[in-house]
Structure 1
């Protein structure tokens, strides 16, 4: 049985890896899970840059297309590089099966669209990434699929929003960019009580910090573009869950084509080998930066899951191993001050991505969540002065120095 204590800080119960995992510890499974070696006896897995695969004979071709035999047919369906990436993620998340997608948003869309039909209803947390919000509010309604938004701090009333047409609960935890948390255990029980699918976007936490399947999630979605890649190199996404559910995803993906390229699958599988050590450092730096900013006289507020001042600090300690690599804060002076501050930064990158080795900062109200109305932004904890900082792996004193000089330069 895997050593559960490896996965969480302090003495909290740990999300357990897949019981079929060949090794006891997270890092070893991420590193040593590998596609079988070819006759060349390579140490590192090669890139299988092929669009299709050869059949031994006509009967094998028939059996593969009839799903009577497992094997590769066409890289839009499966590829050894993508399969290795997904096999690792399943071991790390504790799920039975999964499928790689071309991007995080392809994963978000297919993880919903694979399970809903015209007339169905989705219950979702209001605090969502901007593009996910567009899927729910602008795209799915074209096909008669409706949704209801509920607030993260109103979980006790979520049951009241469930209708006979409800098929899925969709949430992010921590949310983007407000870093609000949902109690995954309560949601898991609610979903089970009403026979609903619980779909959790685990992008911010990664499988190293949080395993939603432990708390009852049926589907786990990832934008692998972020911390899983970790260096801002490629796009990718993943959908994980039970075998029967992933079969539905596989059918949709096979015929609609959001396939991950073999090269990206190769990159992301290699990235998982360093996920644990990177997340440890991201979290260490982020907590130090959050503490530093909270004490700064020019700061209005700071939000970080593992700061005691976070309104859901105890919940964060319960269901996350560490606090993650993201924080949000606001300087005195609102949006005008935020713009001056961003323009004064010299090292930290101004870009909409996150989860990079390099520290990244953005202003969600005018970029990633700009399509939300002012009222909608307020409801998801986005103030006009809020900035989102993805804390990188630079030396923490250099990050502090850039923040300090930019704060000073932005003062009137």
Structure 2
């Protein structure tokens, strides 16, 4: 079929579908470009370390959407195929789009592996795994594996005449091609998905374990566990979110990939990349504003005590620094009321820290914490209900009490 005949056929039978494909691809490109711009700003303008793998993800999204738009334009006959474009559309385009999608998935695996190593071997992570050389090796491995699993698309089509292309049924109908097609589909979608699930489950279990240790261990300073990767909790949550969104979106798509037909692939690719791009933008950039507050009266041997330091934190699990929401001191009547807000993707875990010298003959202040229940978490910046600790006798020994020299 030559280009003119193919265009007439496509426009007559699926013109509206191609318009939707183009609109979705353009929207995906816009979202991906915003995501990439924000990551570049955070990484280079604000000089935050890290974000290398997320930058690669964003670049892959933009490139994929760009190629999808090109395919839409060609299929809508806005560009007439010549011999060069026909060769590119027949042999290169389908391979590039699928290889980029595969690379995106393998980068998600790399992100999950990154969080797993950071949690389980922080010293190795800091000294070796987080270095640029290691990141480049990871990117190279993802690229090579993506090329290998998508090699089948290089020989799926063949040029037909001077400016047309058709499926190369001489090759695609053979046993060896279908064996390769099956193995590559399993590797690209199901093996990578299973690895993501295993790593994500390990991350969740480790986060709970580290969070428990963090809340009960005796330590001299609030920041003693804050030497690991900055913003770990947010990144770990993104990895977990991307894992489940990848499974939800890509395992059904894997069947469409395996039973590929030119009439359906563009819409599936557009929807898939739109969902992935929007999910990445939403997860990495936007959070829900949440607030919490606490109040009470502090006593020392039955006497109201003034100027006792109290702080409200969002207790981050894992290796990230607890976010300070508010701080204050008791008044002359021993009363305090503090509140604060922050943005988080998941629910915040507010806790109240109290630092005092009641019954204290040792260096550094005594410190203990109160977790604040979920019913006292409010939407927005204004606290609807303060957690009331009542009258607290500071001379008593509290569970998980520690000493804090730096507060």
For the criterion TM > 0.5, the same-fold answer is no
Compare CA radii of gyration and give the structure with the larger one.
Answer: 2
Name the one with the larger helix percent.
Answer: 2
The TM-score with structure 1 as length reference comes to 0.30
